[in-house]
Amino acid sequence: MIANDPYAELERRFARMSAVSRAGAILNWDRSTMMPDGASEDRADQLAALGVIGHEMMVAPDMAELLSRAEDGKADLDPWRAANLREMRHAWIHENALPSDLVEARTRASSACEMVWRDAKKKADFKALLPTLTEVVTITKRVGEAKAAALGLPLYDALLDEYEPGGRSARIDALFAELEAFLPAMLQKVMEAQKRAGAPLPLDGPFPVEAQRQLGLEMAKTLGFDFHHGRLDVSAHPFTGGTADDVRITTRYDEEDFTRALMGVLHETGHALYEVGRPRDWRRQPVGNARGMVLHESQSLLMEMQACRSDAFVAFASSRIRAVFGKSGPAWETDNIHRIYTRVAPGFIRVDADEVTYPLHVMLRYRLERAILGGDLALADLPGSWNDGMKELLGVGPPNDSLGCLQDIHWPDGAWGYFPTYTLGALAAAQLFAAARKAVPDLLGAIGKGDFAPLLGWLRANVHGKGSIADTDTILSQATGAPLSTAAFKAHLESRYLSA
């Protein structure tokens, strides 16, 4: 105990809390990839115990005094330590709002619901999920109410703040309104242009899983993923987990369509590179964490959508794709592969959606989760409202709930308030990639050679290495010259899909 240095004592405690959190991250990864189904109750008990241990460390009786004493001396702290203290206070406010029994109940409910969701999704049986999902929603509302009171925010904004510190629904509403005014006409123009060009030639499968895995490994390495500090595995829903020194990415395979798994790997590799690039000296402190999910999703979508659907990358990757699957012929030429990768078509599945329709999937989920949490939509009515929303926004109606409201893991897993960060991340990705192209000479030329070092170096300096030293808009403004907006995203879509 460093009695006369409250800030140093806080750093020591937060480092220990980080270790508890990192252990939980590995257990969570294992639950979703390799754990036998029969271990679910035991794993829920382990995760709940770790959650309560971390929570009780955070809300220790003397923590409020330590924070106040450290803040009294913050004038003597350098910028990183001052920012770290600010992030400590923010984390403490969130945790201190919740009693330990609610923390435990939240973890147990989401663990149980996720396991039920896996089977319900396979069987397209929403009714089977409803009891456990109802419990998750009930607990989530209690969490939201407690945090809303502590933060002085509406319930939804208090939950959003967990994933995007400082994020507010009023700003999301304004940005989404701009996109809703733009996307329908944009989609119509793209569909008409594609019709005039004719359909691309289909790629003849099947595509063996092992060949897809080898392609994914190779492309992840090309982007900069270090498999001495990470793994690629399979899960029901692709995700990135683990720790900065042990990053676990997952995908899922379809032998009829290799593009789904490959783009999943590229997406998750973007997340992983952000984790690895966080400031090494601060990784076990709050200021070393990723800023929030808007920037995190920007990094995955920058790699998957901006860089890896570019003409330059497809020209590089197409020869490797042909070699891995032993294919040749007109359908396997670079131009045709690129047309397939950039094909726009409204569909049922969010993670398989193209850049133009993807935001509409997110807007639907944002609309629905706010209605459920606000008491305006009964959970039992979710499937019908989902299907109606899909027809309204995308013009398609899912034939079953597996392709509808059961497709995502987020709500069963307790992640309410997360969804809007996907589209905000897409906006940030377009903004950052445009800035990188201006700053780095012949960036696309390097990508066309499979050289991602220039792009990764720019991201390390302007995003990854910043950690949480500043808020999202400040980091974006320093990197791109402007806070988050829709302008770069709109310009990107028009350039990629409508330029002759």
Looking at the structure, tell me whether residues 161 and 197 fall in a common domain.
Answer: no
Residue 71 a catalytic site member: no
CATH of the domain at 242: 1.10.1370.30
Domain with 138, as residue range(s), is 6-165
Q: How far apart are CA 432 and CA 477, in angstroms?
A: 10
Specify the 3-state DSSP secondary structure of 299.
helix
pLDDT (0 to 100) of residue 2 = 46
Q: How far apart are CA 368 and CA 178, in angstroms?
A: 19
Residue 379 forms part of a structural domain: yes
Q: Do residues 219 and 265 make contact, with C-beta atoms less than 8 angstroms apart? A: yes
Burial bucket for residue 215 (CB in 10 Å: 0-12, 13-18, 19+): buried
Residue 250 region by backbone torsions, left for phi larger than 0, else alpha for psi between -120 and 50, else beta: beta
pTM of the model: 0.95
Three-point CA angle 207, 210, 216, nearest 5°: 90
User: Which of 210, 147, 203 is CA-nearest to residue 332?
Assistant: 203
pLDDT (0 to 100) of residue 120 = 97
Start-end of H helices in 350-480: 358-373, 382-394, 420-439, 443-447, 453-462, 472-480
Looking at the structure, tell me whether residues 178 and 124 fall in a common domain.
Answer: no
Looking at the structure, tell me whether residues 379 and 340 fall in a common domain.
Answer: yes
pLDDT per residue as tens, the chain (500 positions): 445 799 999 999 999 999 999 999 999 999 999 999 899 899 999 999 999 999 999 999 999 999 999 999 999 999 999 999 999 999 999 999 999 999 999 999 999 999 999 999 999 999 999 999 999 999 999 999 999 999 999 999 999 999 999 999 999 999 999 999 999 999 999 999 999 999 999 999 999 999 999 999 999 999 999 999 999 999 988 899 999 999 999 999 999 999 999 999 999 999 999 999 999 999 999 999 999 999 999 999 999 999 999 999 999 999 999 999 999 999 999 999 999 999 999 999 998 899 999 999 999 999 999 999 999 999 999 999 999 999 999 999 999 999 999 999 999 999 999 999 999 999 999 999 999 999 999 999 999 999 999 999 999 999 999 999 999 999 999 999 999 999 999 999 999 999 85
Q: How far apart are CA 166 and CA 373, in angstroms?
A: 20
User: Greatest CA span in the chain, whole angstroms?
Assistant: 74
Q: How far is CA 143 from CA 80, 154, 400, 464, in A?
A: 30, 12, 31, 30
Looking at the structure, tell me whether residues 338 and 472 fall in a common domain.
Answer: yes
Residue ending a domain, choose from 130, 149, 165: 165
Q: Catalytic residue among 114, 162, 268, 297, which?
A: 268
pLDDT (0 to 100) of residue 1 = 46
Residue 451 forms part of a structural domain: yes
Looking at the structure, tell me whether residues 494 and 440 fall in a common domain.
Answer: yes
Q: How far apart are CA 279 and CA 290, in angstroms?
A: 9
Residue 33 forms part of a structural domain: yes
Q: Which two tokens mark 33?
A: 């990839």
Q: How far apart are CA 23 and CA 142, in angstroms?
A: 26
pLDDT (0 to 100) of residue 197 = 93
Residue ending a domain, choose from 144, 165, 186: 165
Residue ending a domain, choose from 141, 165, 189: 165
Q: Do residues 254 and 483 make contact, with C-beta atoms less than 8 angstroms apart? A: no
Looking at the structure, tell me whether residues 85 and 65 fall in a common domain.
Answer: yes
Residue 433 forms part of a structural domain: yes
Angle of the 382-394 helix axis to the 358-373 helix axis, nearest 10: 150
Residue 460 forms part of a structural domain: yes
Residue 54 region by backbone torsions, left for phi larger than 0, else alpha for psi between -120 and 50, else beta: alpha
pLDDT (0 to 100) of residue 161 = 98
Looking at the structure, tell me whether residues 294 and 238 fall in a common domain.
Answer: yes
The residue with tokens 């063996």 is: 208
Q: Do residues 126 and 382 make contact, with C-beta atoms less than 8 angstroms apart? A: yes
Looking at the structure, tell me whether residues 73 and 188 fall in a common domain.
Answer: no
Residues 6+ apart with CB under 8 A from 405: 126, 382, 383, 386
Q: How far is CA 382 from CA 55, 132, 349, 372, in A?
A: 33, 14, 16, 8
pLDDT (0 to 100) of residue 127 = 98
Number of domains in the chain: 2
Residue 386 forms part of a structural domain: yes
Q: How far apart are CA 179 and CA 464, in angstroms?
A: 27
Residue 477 forms part of a structural domain: yes
Looking at the structure, tell me whether residues 210 and 155 fall in a common domain.
Answer: no
DSSP string for 347-378: -S-GGG--TTTHHHHHHHHHHHHHHHHTTSS-
**What letter represents residue 496's amino acid?**
R
> Residue 231 pairs with which residues in a beta bridge?
248
Q: How far is CA 336 from CA 211, 311, 478, in A?
A: 21, 11, 38
Q: How far apart are CA 384 and CA 365, in angstroms?
A: 13
The residue with tokens 């973890």 is: 107
Looking at the structure, tell me whether residues 243 and 144 fall in a common domain.
Answer: no
Residue 1 forms part of a structural domain: no
Q: Which two tokens mark 39?
A: 């271990």
Looking at the structure, tell me whether residues 457 and 309 fall in a common domain.
Answer: yes
Looking at the structure, tell me whether residues 251 and 145 fall in a common domain.
Answer: no
Q: How far apart are CA 105 and CA 103, in angstroms?
A: 6
